[in-house]
Structure 1
């Protein structure tokens, strides 16, 4: 899809970080925006910023882990704009720690948002995007943690590997069914976001105590994000990937050799080396 002007984009997790950057970048391309985020105040900040710049935008607070709420959001978007051309399933959360230390609630929370949130978005929007019979693109936000598995982030890696796999399946399904839609998986490395503060939106019903191993990985992720690239660079890469129909969107070129090394190790039956999640170009 090369022509963005006048078309409609949906972005979840649009209140901050990569989601806000995506919304701003797509608005700059002349798109109409439907935005969602679980934080009403942050979402309103993005909405007012874009509306103040002349963009046509609608926004609704949304928990992407709630399938019924996502379907209702899709209804609202289609009632408002009549079509969707770019779907960015971007909302995500993180918590870490050893897999045998952290409670099941950690895994439940991350799967609810990171994996089921993507599935809810796909099932709520894609059938109608196909029915439109127009060009379109789905971008699912995974992570380099969905390509390389590292210690102390088992639950997060599980959800992001699943998101990667779901997007590859989706891309193949679009191809074999002759759909005009395309799919990309976004796998960011270190980006200046608030992912390390995701617990601010954790439901009380899935709350859990803090452990030393969790505190360790929280500090690591905080350092990586603080030193990371601007989210605007990620948004630029996404727009370029949509135009060029690139499947895998990496934010750091330094991860490409690691992918080749990982593939070689797996082909030889070896455990891949630990990734350097602080790699920067």
Structure 2
């Protein structure tokens, strides 16, 4: 297993770098002397991040962009090449959250969540992987790494989070396949998938950056309001920080570790789900360990639906 040493003068591309995981990853990259190419859909947050990172001594290029749009990610690749060359580290981090009963998601809901969470990763892989492979072919000592940010929701299927679950399962699948495909053609470029659980990052407020053309227009449904309240409580009460997770990511890159977990203790639920699959048994109640939470959600939803 090859070890990658991240060192000063190398370049990292980070999407969603204006806040949350992205900003903490960029801060850690700056502390290591990496050149930074950062992107975010929120201009003021991006400007603030660039100013802070530059103040830390990093060379920073910032580009406002929506990762769901192919042209925006392609522009990110171009600006990286023009300023620093091929990046050694690419972190497809940008993500949004949206909950509610799965049949209540509108077409716009699906397009927004899948656009950012899945297509953003697809575009990042499509744009940067060929560049990294070409750099590896030209220099046998060159190494690169791609990190895609999924979620524990990519390994579980918690109710009332349909679109988010679907998007993150797809990212896990995409990244596992990327890992295997890379192994067929190179020993110099690798991949990891980050599956965080509840960490205070601000993702529960991601609707603030939802494009006007993808807003549903109507009032949120009761299930969506319940999901928002539960997400806010869970995310804001998380004890593992985004800073902690950023360090885990950099450790994983340097150790060529594929799966990165912020809360390994949640893997028991993943094991139960996989045992359901292997044994062809009906899905286990996700609230078996916290029955009072499940009963509260059932009661709230049934009351909201007049049941």
- Report the alpha carbon displacement of residue 69 of structure 1 after superposing the two structures with TM: 1.5
- Report the alpha carbon displacement of residue 108 of structure 1 after superposing the two structures with TM: 0.9
Q: Deviations over 1:56-85 (max 9, x none)?
A: 111110100110111011101100001200
Matched, 1:131 2:148: no
Of 169, 172, 188, the residue aligned with 1:180 is 188
Aligned residue number for residue 215 of structure 1: 225
Matched, 1:230 2:241: yes
- Report the alpha carbon displacement of residue 179 of structure 1 after superposing the two structures with TM: 4.2
Aligned residue number for residue 55 of structure 2: 52
Gaps in structure 2 of 5+ consecutive residues: 137-141, 291-307
Aligned residue number for residue 204 of structure 1: 212
Aligned residue number for residue 3 of structure 1: 6
Distance 1:112 1:41, change over 3 A: same
- Please report the RMSD computed on the Cα atoms of aligned residues, expressed in angstroms: 1.4
- Report the alpha carbon displacement of residue 184 of structure 1 after superposing the two structures with TM: 0.4
Of 94, 106, 111, the residue aligned with 1:108 is 111
Q: Decide whether the 8 Å contact of 1:130 with 1:179 is kept in 2.
A: no
Runs of 4+ in 1 over 6 A off after TM superposition: none
Task: Write the distance in 2 (CA, Å) between the matches of 1:202 and 1:21.
Answer: 22
Of 171, 177, 191, the residue aligned with 2:179 is 171
TM-score norm. by structure 1 comes to 0.96
Aligned residue number for residue 157 of structure 2: 149
Gaps in structure 1 of 5+ consecutive residues: none
Q: Decide whether the 8 Å contact of 2:105 with 2:163 is kept in 1.
A: no
Q: Decide whether the 8 Å contact of 2:88 with 2:145 is kept in 1.
A: yes
Q: Decide whether the 8 Å contact of 1:149 with 1:274 is kept in 2.
A: no
Distance 1:273 1:5, change over 3 A: farther
Aligned residue number for residue 265 of structure 1: 276
Question: Aligned to 1:165, what secondary structure does the other structure show?
Answer: helix
Task: Write the distance in 1 (CA, Å) between the matches of 2:285 and 2:116.
Answer: 26
Task: Write the distance in 2 (CA, Å) between the matches of 1:274 and 1:129.
Answer: 43
- Report the alpha carbon displacement of residue 102 of structure 1 after superposing the two structures with TM: 2.1
- Report the alpha carbon displacement of residue 274 of structure 1 after superposing the two structures with TM: 4.2
| Aligned residue pairs, count | 278
Task: Write the distance in 1 (CA, Å) between the matches of 2:187 and 2:16.
Answer: 27
Larger radius of gyration: 2
Of 96, 100, 106, the residue aligned with 2:99 is 96
Question: Aligned to 2:191, what secondary structure does the other structure show?
Answer: strand
TM-score norm. by structure 2 comes to 0.88
Q: Deviations over 1:172-204 (max 9, x none)?
A: 001011241110000110110111111111111
